[in-house]
Amino acid sequence: MDQIKVRGGKKLKGIIEISGSKNATLPIIIASLLTERKVVVRRVPDLADVRTILELLTFFGADLNFRSGLNGKILEIINTNITVKKAPYELVRKMRASVLVLGALVARYGEAKVSLPGGCAIGTRPIDIHLNGLESLGASISLEDGYVKAVAKNGLIGSEINLPKVSVGATENLMMAATLAKGKTVLFNCAKEPEISELGRFLNTMGAKILGLGTDKITIHGVDELIGTDFTVANDRIETGTYAIAAAITGGIIKLQGAQTNHLFSVFDILSKTGVSIVEDSESVVISRDNEILPFDIATQPYPGFPTDMQAQVMALLSLASGSSIITENIFENRFMHIPELVRMGANITQEGPTAIIKGVKKLKGAQVMATDLRASVSLVLAGLAAEGETVISRIYHLDRGYEDLVRKLTNCGADIERVAGI
C-alpha cells in the first residue's frame, strides 16, 4: 500500500492551480442520467471518487469519454442505452454519494435499486431523509436484501417536502428527482452549500426550472424532459482552503490560481484572525504568514458556517498556535480520528465529546501516522510540512479520493514530499 513521505520545515512558495470541485462534480455526473442527450462536463478533477462514479455509470450502460483538455479533464456522457437500473454493493460501498443515483433513475425510468451504503468512518449518515422525500414524490420504497428499491411506474408527482434535518445529499437527490416530476415541488430546510447551487445551475442549463438556489427553500417546476449541455465545474473551495493552510502552517506564500473567497468566507475570516495575510484579486488569492499563529475557537456548522470538511486542516494549524484553541464538531460524531495521529507528532490536543482542546506547541516532529478519512489524511500532510524530520503517512488512498495531483502541486511550491510504493 502506497505511502506519502514528507520532510518538513520548508516555507512553501509558489502557485497552485485549484482543481474543479469534487463535491459539485459527483452529483453533476449523476444528474446526467436525467437525459439521453449528450452532456459535456469540463474541469472534472481526476479523483478516485470520480472514477468510481464513472465505473457505476458504465455499469448502467452509459457511453463515456474521459479525456484531457486545456484546463483539466473533459467528460462526455451519453446515456441513451441505460439498460441496468441497479447499483450494486461492490460499487456503492466505495463511496456513499452513489446513493444519489436513486433519485435520477426513478425520475427518468420509474424504477431504481440501490445498495444501502453502510457505515462511514466519520459517522453514520442515514438515508431516511432521501427515502421519505422520494415517497412524498410518489415513489414506492421497499428494502430487499440490503437494497433500496424505488418504483414510480407512472412518474413522480410534485409535492411540498420539509426536510427534518439539513442534508446536502438529500437536497441534491430530491432536487434531481423533482426536475422530471409532474407539477411543482417545494423543498424546505434545504442545505445551502455552493455545490448544491452548482448542481442546480447545471440542471437549469439542461432545461430544468429550479428557483431559490442558495436558500433554504428550493422550488422545482417539473418538465417533461431535459436536454444536453456543456458545463464547466466551479473550483474546489475545500482544496482552496487546504492549500491556504499549507501556506499558513509553513510560514510561506502561495498564490491560489482560480480561487475565490466568497464561498469560503468563514474559513478565510478565521485564518485572518489567526494572523494569516489574505490578498484577493479577480483571478486568485495570495496566502502568506510572517507572524506567529494566533489561537481561535471554532464550531463547525452547515453552510455558510465553518465547514466540517476544513476542521481537521485548521486543527493542524492551531496545534502550532501561541495559545489554546477549542474546536467543536457539530456535523459528524466521529470526525476527530486525526487527533491521536497529530498527538503522535507532538501536538497537545485533548478531546471531550464533540470538543477538542488544542494547546499550541512550539514545534511538531515527524512520525509514522495513519490516515483515517479524506480530510484527516490531508491534515497529516499539512502537519508534516511544518514538522521537524520525516513524517510517513499510510493509507493514503483516502487522499486519492479528493485531492488531484497533491504531491505535484506541493512539490512545485518547494515541499519535500514524495509518494512511495508500499510493500
User: What DSSP element (H or E) covers 263?
Assistant: none
Catalytic residue, candidates 120, 279, 357, 420 = 120
Contact between residue 32 and residue 39 where contact means Cβ atoms under 8 Å apart: yes
Sheet holding 390-394, edge to edge: 368-370, 390-394, 3-7, 416-420
Residues 178 and 156: their CA atoms lie apart, in Å, by 7
Contact between residue 185 and residue 219 where contact means Cβ atoms under 8 Å apart: yes
Contact between residue 88 and residue 59 where contact means Cβ atoms under 8 Å apart: yes
- State the DSSP string of 338-398: THHHHHHTT-EEEEETTEEEEE--S--B--EEE--SHHHHHHHHHHHHHSBSEEEEE-THH
Residues 267 and 94: their CA atoms lie apart, in Å, by 29
Closest CA to 190 of 163, 210, 160: 163
Longest Cα–Cα distance in the chain: 65
Q: Residue 183 CB: number of other CB atoms within 10 A? A: 13
Annotate 56-93 with b (16+ C-beta within 10 A) or e (fewer).
Answer: bbeebebebeeeeeeebbbbebbbeebeebebebebbe
Residue 190 annotated to the active site: no
Residues 189 and 111: their CA atoms lie apart, in Å, by 27
User: Which residue numbers are catalytic?
Assistant: 120
